[in-house]
């Protein structure tokens, strides 16, 4: 396969070249793609100044990403399996789609979208569970030049509505219902609820999956099977500009509502394929399995685009790791002879607790590479993954990246860069990380710790936040001029290896999902008896971080007090989704505020960590007594 790094020496050489001549480096990689018209200029960029950030790759290049997945691969791979779908229920039959079959489905659904008037540039909201129709819908959008905005099917009606409104989507694609382990979730009714506040939506396309009753309104609801009935599988891809938008994906930050991270076609395509084949060292014939949900960026890039661009066989799984039992992941690995297995530390930590025998009773000899993503992996979980799952011999790629980066940035290359527990190790060629101190001064050399930024653009990077370019600048480029701010802290050790320590802002990484504290506070405050709240992360053995909410309520009767915590959790679930429910809720009479009214979250975080020995200067607080009250009522054991 072209553009594949083959040894450590090769990596070091490529890295050097990529820094000396980034444009030449990426242009060379992009040459292997199919462009209807080649670019005039590789890159134009500024992180500062007029309209910043201004980042354009492969300027005036014309292409369609689906032609790079299908037409480009068709000659070699028409009958090769592209997607394997493992259903929630292991008793149900899996689905295998070859490149030829998937292509036909994509073209037919693309024609279906055209039939109801979806056009190039329209934003299509996709609210689907992990079924093959999800990649079909994404790729059909890309085929006709529509922009997909996938919303994780665990988000609530209100979160879905926010995303539909922000992107002014005119079509929503969903199912009647979704399975999740032993449960089923009525997705269509969530969409119905959301659409009460979304006037831009003209049609909802519904795929029949669980067969449950739904409220079907023939004025705007369309069954997927009716939409494609008799529709041709012939379709010519729309010609797109390299910098046209491929997708919007919403993600949480420190402040306000989630932002729509915008990725454009050419750069994202080049980056997704390059990172996929190099990080996982994918070889022809391998079976790749990423356990993420396509509703998150990991699924976008490493279930769909990266593997399919490469011509790989990609497994997608509808269910959960612990249903019907804690051996499910390993059943699936064994069943399909998975070669590369990519999951989140939270799943690993959860499985450690169930015992080794769930793993050891399976034949996992097909596994060549293990991967992790989404949050720091603690050394203990890393060792278990390495020793028990990887039999002590399979390399672990601890991949650091973000929704905004489009693909993996810092990681070992499997079998090439020596690993070290809990280290993401080295940047990929083309990626130029830099550590800075609070003031933005570069921390040079090794054995330093600071704030992780990136100093040069890469093709897969965020271009803007949808509908609000200024917010993109403010969030990522304004704090340290000329640098992309990741929001993560990191250490560079004595050998130059990076270890990511986690978020330095008001974002909590819960089971690898980014949750903004402000969003959770807003949701809690919707409860009629709540006056104010402050939310922080705290160490959680499985989730990495849990959510700790300190809440001020109206005067409550004893009876009200009993039910209030559950009600608050339900409120958060209703406004955001079950993933954002606080783990710990402490009702307090006040919050530690400065005289200017600012909540001192540092103190609340320390208490959540169970350590009140070093709270720093509390004399500037409006009411220093409140700290004592919070410590004595804390939901965790606190050392004084």
Residues that bind ligand PRX (CB under 6 A): 251, 297-298, 373-376, 398-403, 424, 486-488, 500, 502-503, 509, 514
Pair 125, 134: CB distance under 8 Å: no
| Distance in Å, CB of 71 to ligand PRX, minimum | 29
Smaller CB distance to ligand PRX: residue 207 or 497?
497
> Do the beta carbons of residue 268 and residue 460 sit within 8 Å?
yes
Tokens 């999800």 correspond to 134
DSSP 3-state of 316:
strand
DSSP 64-128: -HHIIIIIHHHHHHTTSEEEEEE-SSTTSPPEEEEHHHHHHHHHHHHHHHHHTT--TT-EEEEE-
Q: How far is the CB of 465 from ligand PRX (least distance, A)?
A: 13
Looking at beta carbons only, is 349 or 514 nearer to ligand PRX? 514
Q: Which residue's CB is nearer to ligand PRX, number 22 or number 487?
A: 487
Query: Shortest approach of ligand PRX to residue 460 CB, angstroms?
Result: 12
Q: Which two tokens stand for residue 165?
A: 């409104």
**Nearer to ligand PRX among residue 88 and residue 486 (C-beta):** 486
Q: 189: exposed, middle or buried (C-beta count within 10 Å: 0-12, 13-18, 19+)? A: middle
Is the Cβ of residue 83 or residue 261 nearer to ligand PRX in the bound state? 261
Residues 6+ apart with CB under 8 A from 168: 123, 200
Q: How many residues does this entry show for the chain?
A: 640
Question: How buried is 472 (Cβ within 10 angstroms: 0-12 exposed, 13-18 middle, 19+ buried)?
Answer: buried
In the complex with ligand PRX, the residue whose CB is nearer, 138 or 240, is 138
Select 241 or 488, whichever has its Cβ closest to ligand PRX.
488
Tokens encoding 90: 């292991």
- Nearest residue to ligand PRX by CB is 403
- Cα distances (Å, whole numbers) of residue 93 to 84, 335, 370, 465: 11, 12, 26, 41
Contact present, 135 and 83 (Cβ < 8 Å): yes
Residue tagged 């069943």 (tokens): 335
Measured from the CB atom, is 128 or 462 closer to ligand PRX? 462
CB of 509 to ligand PRX, least distance (A): 5
Which residue, among 82, 181, 152, 427, has the nearest Cα to 299 in the 3D structure? Answer: 152
- Given 3-state DSSP classes, what are the helix, strand and coil percentages for the chain, each rounded to the nearest 5? 30, 25, 40
Residue 550's DSSP bridge partners are: 534, 586
CB nearer to ligand PRX: pick between 368 and 503: 503
Give least dist CB 68 to ligand PRX, A: 22
């Amino acid at each position: 396969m072209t553009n594949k790094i083959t040894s450590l020496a090769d990596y070091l050489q490529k890295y050097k070249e990529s820094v000396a001549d980034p444009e030449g480096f990426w242009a060379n990689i992009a040459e292997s793609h199919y462009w209807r018209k080649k670019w005039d200029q590789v890159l134009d960029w500024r992180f500062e100044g007029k309209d910043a950030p201004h980042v354009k790759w492969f300027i005036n290049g014309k292409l369609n990403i689906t032609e790079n997945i299908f037409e480009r691969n068709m000659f070699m791979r028409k009958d090769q399996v592209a997607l394997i779908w493992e259903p929630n229920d292991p008793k149900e039959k899996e689905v295998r789609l070859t490149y030829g079959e998937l292509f036909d489905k994509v073209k037919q659904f693309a024609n279906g979208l055209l039939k109801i008037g979806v056009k190039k540039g329209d934003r299509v909201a996709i609210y689907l569970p992990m079924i093959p129709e999800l990649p079909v819908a994404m790729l059909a959008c890309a085929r006709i030049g529509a922009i997909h905005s996938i919303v994780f099917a665990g988000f609530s009606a209100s979160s879905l509505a926010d995303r539909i409104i922000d992107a002014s989507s005119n079509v929503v694609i969903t199912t009647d219902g979704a399975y999740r382990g032993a449960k089923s979730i009525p997705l269509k009714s969530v969409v119905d609820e959301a659409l009460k506040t979304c006037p831009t939506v003209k049609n909802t396309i519904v795929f029949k999956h669980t067969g449950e009753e739904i409220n079907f309104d023939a004025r705007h609801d369309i069954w997927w099977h009716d939409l494609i009935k008799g529709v041709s599988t012939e379709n010519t891809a729309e010609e797109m500009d390299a910098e046209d938008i491929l997708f919007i994906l919403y993600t949480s930050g420190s402040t306000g509502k989630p932002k729509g991270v915008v990725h454009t076609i050419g750069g994202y395509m080049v980056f997704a394929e390059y990172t996929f084949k190099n990080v996982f060292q994918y070889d022809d014939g391998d079976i790749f399995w990423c356990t993420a949900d396509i509703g998150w960026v990991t699924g976008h890039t490493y279930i769909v685009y990266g593997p399919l661009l490469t011509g790989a066989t990609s497994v997608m799984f509808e269910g959960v790791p612990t249903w019907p039992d804690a051996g499910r992941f390993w059943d699936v690995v064994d069943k399909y002879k998975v070669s590369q297995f990519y999951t989140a530390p939270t799943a690993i930590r959860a499985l450690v607790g169930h015992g080794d025998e769930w793993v050891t009773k399976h034949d996992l000899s097909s596994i060549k590479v293990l991967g992790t993503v989404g949050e720091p992996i603690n050394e203990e979980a890393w060792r278990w993954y390495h020793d028990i799952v990887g039999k002590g011999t399979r390399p672990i790629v601890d991949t650091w990246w973000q929704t905004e980066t489009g693909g993996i940035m810092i990681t070992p290359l499997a079998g090439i860069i020596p690993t070290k527990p809990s280290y993401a190790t080295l940047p990929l060629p083309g990626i130029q990380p830099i550590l800075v101190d609070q003031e933005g001064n570069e921390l040079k050399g090794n054995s330093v710790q600071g704030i992780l930024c990136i100093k040069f653009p890469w093709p897969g990077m965020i271009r803007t936040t949808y509908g609000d370019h200024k917010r993109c600048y403010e969030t990522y480029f304004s704090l340290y001029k000329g640098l992309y701010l990741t929001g993560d802290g990191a250490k560079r050790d004595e050998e130059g290896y990076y270890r990511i320590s986690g978020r330095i802002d008001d974002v909590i990484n819960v089971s690898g999902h980014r949750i903004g504290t402000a969003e959770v506070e807003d949701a809690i405050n919707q409860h009629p008896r709540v006056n104010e709240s402050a939310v922080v992360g705290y160490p959680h053995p499985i989730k990495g971080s849990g959510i700790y909410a300190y809440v001020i309520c109206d005067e409550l009767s004893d009876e009200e007090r009993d039910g209030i915590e559950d009600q608050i959790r339900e409120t958060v679930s209703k406004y955001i989704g079950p993933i954002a429910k606080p783990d710990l809720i402490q009702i307090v009479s006040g919050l530690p505020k400065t005289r200017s009214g600012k909540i001192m979250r540092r103190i609340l975080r320390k208490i959540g960590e169970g350590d009140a020995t070093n709270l720093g200067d509390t004399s500037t607080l409006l009411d220093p007594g409140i700290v004592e009250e919070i410590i004595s009522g804390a939901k965790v054991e606190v050392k004084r």
